[in-house]
Amino acid sequence: MNPAPTPASLPGAAARAELRDLLDRLAELLSGLPGVLAVVLMGSAARDELAACEIDGRLQLFSDLELLVISERRLPAELRMRAQTAAQDLARRFAQASPLFHIDLLFRERGRLAALPAIVFTFELREAGRILRGPNLLTEIPALDAERLDQANTREILFKRLWALAEALPAAWLRGEPLDPVAARSLGVSLRRNPLDVPTVLLPACGVLEAGYRQRGEIWRAHPELPCRAWIDRRLGQDSAAFLDACLAERSLCAAVADPWGAHRDALLLLAAGLDWCLRAPPGGRQAATPGALDADALVWTAALARDLPAESRRLFNAWPIARGEWLGLAQQLVRISNSAGPAAGLGWLQRPRKGHLAAALLELHRALLAQGMERSDLAGAALGAAVEQALLAAPDARSEHAAFVAAEGFPEAWLAARAVVARAFWRVIRLGDPTAWPGMAGRIGWTEATSARSAV
The pLDDT tens digits of the residues spanning 361-377 come to 999 999 999 999 999 99
Name the β-bridge partners of 135.
none
Q: Looking at residue 131, which CATH number applies to its domain? A: 3.30.460.10
E strand or H helix that includes residue 104:
strand 103-109
Q: How many domains, the chain? A: 3
Same domain, 285 and 158: yes
Average pLDDT over residues 209-232: 96
Same domain, 104 and 180: no
pLDDT category at 16 given cuts 50, 70, 90 is: confident
Q: Is residue 128 in a domain?
A: yes
pLDDT for 59 equals 86
Q: Which among 79, 112, 136 is the end of a domain?
A: 136
pLDDT for 208 equals 97
Q: What is the pLDDT of residues 77-89, one digit of tens each?
A: 999 999 999 999 9
SS3 (DSSP) at 6: coil
Under 8 Å between Cβ of 228 and 281: yes
pLDDT for 294 equals 62
Residue range of the domain that includes 266: 149-290
- What amino acid occupies position 80? R
Round to whole Å and give the CA distance between 214 and 191: 17
Same domain, 439 and 358: yes
Same domain, 153 and 282: yes
More confident residue, 190 or 282: 190
Q: How far is CA 426 from CA 317, 318, 385, 393, 402, in A?
A: 14, 15, 17, 11, 15
pLDDT for 97 equals 87
Same domain, 60 and 82: yes
pLDDT at 346 over 80: yes
**222 — phi, psi (to 5°)?**
-80, -10
Same domain, 277 and 339: no
Q: Which among 269, 290, 311 is the end of a domain?
A: 290
pLDDT at 456 over 60: no
Q: What is the pLDDT of residues 225-269, one digit of tens each?
A: 999 999 999 999 999 999 999 999 999 999 999 999 999 999 999
Q: What is the pLDDT of residues 106-123, one digit of tens each?
A: 999 999 999 999 999 999
For every residue of 273-292, DSSP letters joined together read: HHHHHHHHSSSS---SPPTT
pLDDT for 286 equals 59
Q: Is residue 299 in a domain?
A: no
CB burial of 326-351 (b: ≥16 within 10 Å; e: otherwise) equals: beebbeebbeebbeeeeeeebeebee
110 DSSP 8-state letter: G
pLDDT at 330 over 80: yes
pLDDT category at 338 given cuts 50, 70, 90 is: confident
